[in-house]
Amino acid sequence: MFTPRFDPNRPYNDLPPLPPAQDIETPAVLKKIIQARTALARLDMACHLIPNPDTITATIPLLEARASSAIENIITTHDELFKAAWKVDTTPPPATKEALRYKHALYAGWESLKERPLSTKTAQEVCSVLQARPALIRSTPGTYIGDPATGKRHYTPPEGKEIIENHLANLEKFLYPAKESPYDPLTIMAATHYQFEAIHPFYDGNGRTGRILNILLLIQSELITFPVLYLSSYIVENKARYYQLLREVTTQGNWEEWLLFIVEGVEKTATSTLAMINKLRDIQSTMEADIRAAGITPAKELTDLLFSSPYLRIRDVEEAGLVKRQQASHWLNSLVQQGILLDHKVGREKFFINHAALNILTA
């Protein structure tokens, strides 16, 4: 019988370390893991079939950034975020700027995996980019999860810099060596996500940092190659259940339901992300044929550019080395006339919009 050792009003300094004492890879969890890994393998294969992965890694992480930020009530629209990303809007709202930093933080974490495995340092670097300032381990009391209006606490995370660092050190031990772990990487990801949120090591940005770590762990485990899994969309759709199950792990030791929830989210979002990529590939192929039929010789290169930069400027085509400015202007304006692109003027600068791709990405 699980006996909770925590009081929501007191710092949970005795947070149990990982791995949990109970067997968390139940038959139901292992069955769901097989399904999720199959979906991830299909998604990863589809990514490798794309000649230029930039066409998806430049755009899909923005969807993840918006959804993950929305979980923390940082609300922006697809339109605002995409325009800010490609500097169509150079003075976006604060929430849009903050959501855009999520993509930068995800990329920073992805790059860091080339130098070292996932660690507390990775989490600090990711959170620092999210916050646009150094992310410090909490050393002062007062942090809690609950209702700020009433002061009612649902959970009070561990308190004290040394105690928090000890919990993080244990979490790192659980992560390594991943290839020799008795647990499947999806089990490690789900358990790590709970533990990181329970430790709540930083003053702010813990939720978004934890969701970035999910993607990085899947990449490190070689289940996916690119950061294109749109996992936060599932959490947004099931936000109440997400927080309920986090609490139930703490209060009831309900690891099975938590793992089933997270692994099912991986399976569903891998399947939906694959469907999105397939749609993008189809319209990219159609657009390339249309551009070639319009007499534009580097049809593939221009199409790739339009999918990695759906808001394109004349100088972007010139800087990509495809053609000089005057010819680039002629090409893009002719594609507008044929209805392949839309144009939008901001001040003295004109943007050419790949509306077909944006319609799929923001559906």
Per-residue pLDDT of 107-156, as tens digits, reads 999 999 999 999 999 999 999 999 999 999 999 999 999 888 888 899 99
DSSP at 136: P
Given 244, 275, 306, the domain boundary residue is 275
151 phi, psi to nearest 5 deg: 80, 5
DSSP at 49: T
Query: What's 103's domain CATH number?
Result: 1.10.3290.10
Pair of tokens at residue 347: 């001040």
Beta-strand relationship, 349-353 and 342-346: antiparallel
Residue 177's pLDDT band (cuts 50, 70, 90):
low
- Residue 304 falls within a domain, yes or no? yes
- Residue 14 falls within a domain, yes or no? no
Dihedral of alpha carbons 196, 197, 199, 202, sign: positive
Whole-number average pLDDT of the chain: 94
> What pLDDT, on a 0 to 100 scale, did the predictor assign at position 1?
44
Q: Verify that 176 and 54 share a domain, yes or no.
A: yes
Q: Verify that 142 and 266 share a domain, yes or no.
A: yes
Given 245, 275, 305, the domain boundary residue is 275
- Residue 231 falls within a domain, yes or no? yes
What's the structural domain count of the chain?
2
Q: Which residues contact 290 (CB under 8 A, 6 or more apart)?
A: 338, 340
Domain extent at residue 268: 27-275
Given 275, 305, 339, the domain boundary residue is 275
Q: Verify that 189 and 97 share a domain, yes or no.
A: yes
- Residue 246 falls within a domain, yes or no? yes
Residue 58's pLDDT band (cuts 50, 70, 90):
very high
Q: Verify that 217 and 333 share a domain, yes or no.
A: no
Q: Verify that 90 and 225 share a domain, yes or no.
A: yes
Burial class (CB in 10 A: 0-12, 13-18, 19+), 310: buried
Q: Verify that 264 and 323 share a domain, yes or no.
A: no
User: Tens digits of per-residue pLDDT, 267-312?
Assistant: 999 999 999 999 999 999 999 999 999 999 899 999 999 999 999 9
pTM confidence score:
0.94
Q: Verify that 70 and 189 share a domain, yes or no.
A: yes
Cα–Cα nearest to 196, from 209, 178, 183: 209
Q: Verify that 255 and 162 share a domain, yes or no.
A: yes
